[in-house]
């Protein structure tokens, strides 16, 4: 079993849709959970991070962490064509530890 | 604020040749990371520096890969000799200091093709 898993997609949605991206993980010691966005031929860009369980909202983006289920989600409201990218979840045990990335989910938002 | 700079952006070499990548982190960032991202996979940490000291190189194939960060600023990653399976994007990232490892800023990467 891989440490962090994501559905690779591709996921294709119409503009304005609500997008749900998910990751599961096996290491119960993870406490920091991040979402990165990676455009084609670019480096990943941090969208948001969450410590431990709960929700965090930033504009159109909401991150949720359910540690009891070892499951994290990223919701994108009112999706835009500019949201078309690969979304990588990432996590670490402490703020010092190495970050483990998921394989990414490719998202296309169709105008 | 200037971002993380990397060069070259693309490199094509034959197997058994050597190659070097350069990274200049965001000014003032003490922590520097090198990642390998194979197509369809997430980035995998190769080595982490805190200033000019190595914090984690447990996943660096030390028989062929080496990295240094002289003077705690820019860094070089070298592969010698290269294998076909080294074809990947090599990403450099930096963060202000080690306790903010969850907040990393990535460069554009160097796309390496080994033929």
Q: What is the pLDDT of residues B18-45, one digit of tens each?
A: 999 999 999 999 999 999 999 999 999 9
Q: With an 8 Å Cβ cutoff, is A102 touching chain B?
A: yes
Among the partner-chain residues A36, A44, A99, the one whose CB lies closest to the CB of B101 is A99
CB spacing of A103 vs B42 below 8 angstroms = yes
A9 pLDDT tier (thresholds 50, 70, 90)? confident
Chain B: give the shortest CA distance to residue A97, in Å: 7
Q: With an 8 Å Cβ cutoff, is B60 touching chain A?
A: no
Residues B56-94, buried b or exposed e (16+ Cβ, 10 A)? bbeebeeeebbbebeeeeebebebeebeeebbbbbbbbb
Using the structure block, give the residue that is written with the tokens 């394989």.
A103
Among the partner-chain residues A43, A97, A99, the one whose CB lies closest to the CB of B109 is A43
CB spacing of A32 vs B56 below 8 angstroms = no
Q: With an 8 Å Cβ cutoff, is B101 touching chain A?
A: yes
A3 in Cβ contact with A51 (< 8 Å):
no
- A8, closest residue in chain B (CA to CA): B40
Among the partner-chain residues B43, B102, B108, the one whose CB lies closest to the CB of A92 is B102
In eight-state DSSP terms, residue B83 is: -
The answer to whether residue A85 scores a pLDDT higher than 80 is yes
The answer to whether residue B1 scores a pLDDT higher than 90 is no
What values do phi and psi take at B73, rounded to 5?
A: -120, -100
Q: Which residues of B touch A39 (CB under 8 A)?
A: none
Using the structure block, give the residue that is written with the tokens 């190769």.
B46
Mean pLDDT score across all residues of chain A: 94
Among the partner-chain residues A36, A49, A98, the one whose CB lies closest to the CB of B48 is A98
The answer to whether residue B98 scores a pLDDT higher than 70 is no
Euclidean distance between CA atoms B91 and B79, whole angstroms: 14
Chain B: give the shortest CA distance to residue A17, in Å: 25
The answer to whether residue A1 scores a pLDDT higher than 80 is no
pLDDT tens digit sequence for A34-49: 999 999 999 999 999 9
Chain A: give the shortest CA distance to residue B35, in Å: 10
Q: What is the pLDDT of residue B31?
A: 93
Q: Which residues of A touch B104 (CB under 8 A)?
A: 46, 99
Q: Which residues contact B83 (CB under 8 A, 6 or more apart)?
A: B15, B64, B114
């Amino acid at each position: 079993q891989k440490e962090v898993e994501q559905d690779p997609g591709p996921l294709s949605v119409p503009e304005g849709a609500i997008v749900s991206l998910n990751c599961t993980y096996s290491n119960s010691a993870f406490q920091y959970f991040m979402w990165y966005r990676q455009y084609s031929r670019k480096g990943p860009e941090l969208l948001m991070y969450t410590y431990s369980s709960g929700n965090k909202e930033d504009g159109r983006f909401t991150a949720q962490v359910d540690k009891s289920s070892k499951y994290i989600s990223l919701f994108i409201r009112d999706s835009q064509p500019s949201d078309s990218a690969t979304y990588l979840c990432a996590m670490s045990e402490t703020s010092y530890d190495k970050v483990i990335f998921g394989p990414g989910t490719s998202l296309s938002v169709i105008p | 604020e200037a971002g993380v700079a990397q060069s070259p952006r693309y490199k094509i070499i034959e197997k058994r040749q050597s190659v070097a990548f350069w990274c200049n982190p965001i000014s003032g960032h003490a922590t520097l990371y090198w990642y390998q991202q194979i197509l369809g996979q997430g980035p995998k940490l190769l080595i982490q520096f805190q200033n000019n000291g190595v914090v984690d190189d447990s996943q660096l194939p030390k028989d062929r890969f080496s990295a240094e960060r002289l003077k705690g600023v820019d860094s070089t990653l070298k592969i010698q000799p290269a294998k076909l399976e080294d074809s990947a994007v090599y990403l450099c990232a930096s963060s202000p200091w080690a306790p903010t490892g969850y907040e990393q800023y990535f460069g554009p990467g160097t796309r390496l093709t080994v033929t």
